[in-house]
Amino acid sequence: MFHRLLSNDLPRSRVLAITLLVLVLGLAFAPFLFPGVKALNVAAKVLIFIALVVSFDLLLGYTGIVSFAHTMFFGIGAYGIAIALNGMGPSWTAVAVGVVCALAISLVLSLVIGLFSLRVKAIFFAMITLAVASAFLTLASQLSAITGGEDGLTFRVPEVLTPGFALSEDDFAGPFGDVVLNGRFITYYLIFAVVAVMFLVMLRIVNSPFGRVLQAIRENDFRAEALGYRTVVYRTLSNVLSALFATLAGCLLALWLRYNGPDTSLSFEIMLDVLLIVVIGGMGTMYGAIIGSVLFLVAQSYLQDLLRLIGEAASGIPLLPALFTPDRWLLWLGLLFVLSVYYFPTGIVGKLRERAALARLKETP
């Protein structure tokens, strides 16, 4: 049953399996283990980025396509929810309309981009997607009557997802503080359930015959074409599936934040973050999305606090307080990224799997 659930794509490393188990259980019980508002926000953002990163990894890691339009589909999902709830009111009908309309728009756009752009070489396709994403960002910023412009849209969600909705009058006593059983608690587990299903479906896709063809195209598209596979069709389908999954991730982001604007879901910084997470976790490994998202977003959220503590502890030592000031967190984050790439050139998941394979070879008589 467990093999079928993971589509027979097991971690293949004891250390990796234990790490993934700890991280998944940590995310599953985050409201009880980390009841603070900031910690829960970080956990929800990690879940959303896991969905976004696996969708991008289908393109980059499994098909070998470099696209800079991925956050455009992420933004379409977020705007779909925001516009529907803002116009129709806080109802589940509005949520359904927003999701369906966002998926329909993403389907059409990804199909058009795929059919017209994937026949060109990789670098030109990347430039085309960058131009399309930039145009969409400008459009979202200027259509203030629909999107709210630079100010974005603040909207209400269905009552059961609001902080004012109480599952119980009494708070649950967790190991690290009281857990408020309200609408945010329900929203978090809604996001967790949707992301878990999306991850398992994507894992099934990449381990299906369709996924094997995508990997063959990544390795040698001329050979795949010679074997009878229409590479343009497979690349287009990969582009469409990736866009639809990214759109669903955007819908989840909007439901969690109850706000959406250009900087929230369409920013090019999000695209850079996704690229960094894919590289850190390991390209072509779905499990890399989990490890990379947790490491990157936890570092991004808590590195400033850690630097502040180190700076205060080293207050009597010359130069160190200035070096460990919270304002230099981007410098340290960049340094951590360089070190991770240097020591894990194939990503953390790739490195752990390589070590496990070498250990098995040594044990073989």
pLDDT of residue 205: 93
Q: What is the pLDDT of residues 19-47, one digit of tens each?
A: 999 999 999 999 888 878 888 999 999 99
pLDDT of residue 365: 61
- Say whether 294 sits in a helix, a strand or coil: helix
The conformation of residue 88, written as its DSSP 8-state character, comes to H
Q: What is the CATH number of the domain that holds 38?
A: 1.10.3470
- Say whether 228 sits in a helix, a strand or coil: coil
Residue type, 220: N
N-term to C-term CA, the chain = 32
pLDDT of residue 174: 59
Residue 298, CB-side half-sphere exposure with 13 Å CA sphere: 12
**Tokens at 58, concatenated:** 């289908």
Strand partners, 179: 172
CA geometry: angle 38, 41, 43, nearest 5 deg: 110
pLDDT of residue 310: 79
pTM of the model: 0.93
Distance CA 187, CA 170 (A): 19
> Which residues of the chain, if any, have pLDDT below 70?
1-5, 117-122, 169-178, 364-365
Please tell me the total number of residues recorded for the chain in this structure: 365
pLDDT of residue 176: 59
Number of domains in the chain: 1
- For 71, the domain range is 2-363
Strand partners, 154: 259
